[in-house]
């Protein structure tokens, strides 16, 4: 059973030609006389020869493999990225070497360094601080990053987080919401951008943003953070979550706390993961085009592999997806930019002094 695979040499012998001839034939590097070509073809499938990619790689220095390092394959955002990247890779005859770093800072670096050795280039999603990008460059392999680097020129892709956040905030404002909370995830590279996008918007309307932080970008973290926000003193009438997963968890817990959604509270997230649509109420969110991000990253990387220089940040456009988790404040009538005035508490603004002690 463990019959050793035939080598290029066996084929050459069987066909009565030189090894280099076989090599050139396999790689289509050259044209051949009909007789030789016929003999080669015959020999090859008589022996069932398959070229050994390792040996080839060793010489060419190319593996036709792309490393993809992500934080958690279970997060649909990353799943979509993988899907998109995979599709483009397959089209170009590349294979994906996947590394799930499991949101662990320590594992990340050694894993990526090991990965670098086995691939032609890498696509990386990471929570590493911006100055750590340095050593990525030192790997001297083409790399595409998710999220812009402030200091270093490195190919990267992302979606305009400030804009996405503004869209969400403005949507809520238009619906008459005035006490808006942001349940962020500070560890993420995207968090600041999103928070600022919201805060800027609110500021123009003379409002302040109530900021909280989730301990993970997951549904369970959303559940956990819920009561402190909803039953605390700020009493938001809308909350923007760092992502859809957090939002989903938040909504579940909110319902269990007795809030009616969306009547008592509007909730939104970022990403537009597919299950947001099947939640109830279906989640209003902003589509970050995760899958396209994956495609674009892979396209950029392959271009780099083909010699094109690329230090740019490619920014995709977000799109607001309004569903059922947001609705107009029952007690307001003016569209937006109005003097805010909520009935429950006299004297507007926020910081009402809380009833929950």
What residues line the site for DNA (CB under 7 A)?
4-5, 7-9, 16-24, 26-27, 29-33, 35-37, 51-52, 55-56, 58-60
Return the number of the residue (8 or 143) whose C-beta is nearest DNA.
8
Smallest gap from residue 40 Cβ to DNA (A): 9
- Assign 43 to helix, strand or coil: helix
* Alpha-carbon separation of residue 338 from 196, 202, 235, 334 (angstroms): 21, 12, 20, 7
Q: Shortest CA distance to 263 belongs to which of 333, 349, 327, 337?
A: 327
Angle at 350 between CA 344 and CA 355, to 5 degrees: 55
Q: Compute the least distance from the CB of residue 48 to DNA, in Å.
A: 12
Task: Give min distance, CB of 10 to DNA, in A.
Answer: 8
- Contact letters (x/-) for a second copy, 136-165, by CB under 8 A? ----x-------------------------
CB atoms closer than 10 angstroms to residue 179:
24
Q: Which of 8, 22, 80, 155 binds a second copy (CB under 8 A)?
A: 80
The smaller minimum CB distance to a second copy, of residues 28 and 347, is found at 28
User: How far does CA 260 lie from the centroid of its chain?
Assistant: 31
Task: For the CB of residue 228, give the shortest distance to DNA in the complex, in Å.
Answer: 54
For the segment 93-122, give every residue that binds a second copy (CB under 8 A). 95-100, 102, 107, 111, 113-115, 117-118
Give which of a second copy, DNA, none residue 227 binds (C-beta under 5 to 8 Å, depending on kind). Answer: none
Q: Binds 187, which of a second copy, DNA, none (CB < 5 to 8 A, cut-off by type)?
A: none
Q: How far is CA 249 from CA 35, 224, 230, 289, in A?
A: 69, 8, 13, 22
Residue 9 within binding range of a second copy, rule CB under 8 A: no
Question: Any residues with CB less than 8 A from the CB of 225 and at least 6 apart, and which?
Answer: 183, 212, 213, 214, 215, 246, 250
Residues 231-250 that bind a second copy (CB under 8 A): 248-249
143 phi/psi in degrees, rounded to 5: -135, 140
DSSP string, 75-116: SHHHHHHHHHHHHHHHHTT-EEEEEE-TT-HHHHHHHHHHHH
How many residues bind to a second copy according to rule CB under 8 A?
51
Smallest gap from residue 91 Cβ to a second copy (A)? 11
Give the CA distances from residue 223 to residues 47, 136, 203, 226, in Å, rounded to whole numbers and listed in that order.
61, 36, 28, 5
**Residue with Cβ nearer DNA (24 or 252):** 24
Q: Does 135 bind a second copy (CB under 8 A)?
A: no
Report in angstroms how near the CB of residue 59 gets to DNA at its nearest.
Answer: 4
């Amino acid at each position: 059973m463990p019959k050793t695979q035939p080598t290029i040499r066996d084929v050459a012998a069987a066909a009565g030609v030189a090894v280099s001839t076989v090599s050139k034939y396999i790689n289509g590097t050259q044209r051949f006389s009909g007789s030789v070509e016929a003999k080669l073809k015959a020999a090859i499938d008589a022996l069932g020869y398959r070229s050994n990619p390792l040996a080839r790689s060793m010489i060419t220095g190319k593996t036709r493999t792309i490393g993809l390092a992500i934080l958690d394959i279970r997060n649909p955002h990353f799943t979509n990225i993988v899907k998109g990247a995979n599709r483009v890779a397959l089209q170009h005859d590349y294979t994906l070497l996947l590394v799930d770093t499991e949101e662990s800072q320590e594992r990340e670096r050694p894993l990526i360094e090991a990965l670098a050795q086995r691939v032609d280039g890498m696509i990386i999603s990471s929570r590493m601080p911006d100055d750590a990008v340095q050593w990525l460059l030192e790997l001297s392999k083409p790399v595409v990053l998710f999220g812009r680097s402030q200091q270093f020129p490195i190919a990267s892709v992302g979606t305009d987080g400030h804009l996405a956040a503004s869209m969400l905030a403005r949507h809520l404002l238009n619906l008459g919401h005035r006490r808006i909370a942001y349940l962020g995830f500070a560890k993420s590279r995207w968090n600041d951008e999103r928070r600022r996008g919201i805060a800027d918007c609110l500021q123009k309307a003379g409002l302040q943003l109530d900021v909280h932080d989730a301990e993970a970008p997951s549904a369970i973290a959303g559940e956990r953070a819920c009561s402190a926000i909803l039953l605390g003193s700020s009493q938001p009438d809308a909350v923007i979550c760092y992502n859809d997963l957090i939002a989903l968890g938040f909504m579940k817990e909110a319902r269990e706390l007795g809030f009616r959604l969306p009547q008592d509270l509007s909730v939104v997230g970022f990403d537009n993961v597919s299950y947001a649509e099947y939640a109830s109420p279906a989640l209003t969110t902003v589509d970050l085009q995760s899958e396209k991000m994956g495609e674009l990253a892979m396209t950029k990387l392959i271009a780099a592999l083909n010699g094109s220089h690329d230090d740019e940040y490619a920014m995709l456009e977000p799109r607001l997806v309004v569903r059922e988790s947001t609705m107009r404040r029952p007690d307001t009538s003016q569209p937006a930019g109005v003097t805010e005035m909520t009935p429950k508490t006299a004297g507007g603004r926020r910081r009402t002094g809380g009833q929950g002690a």
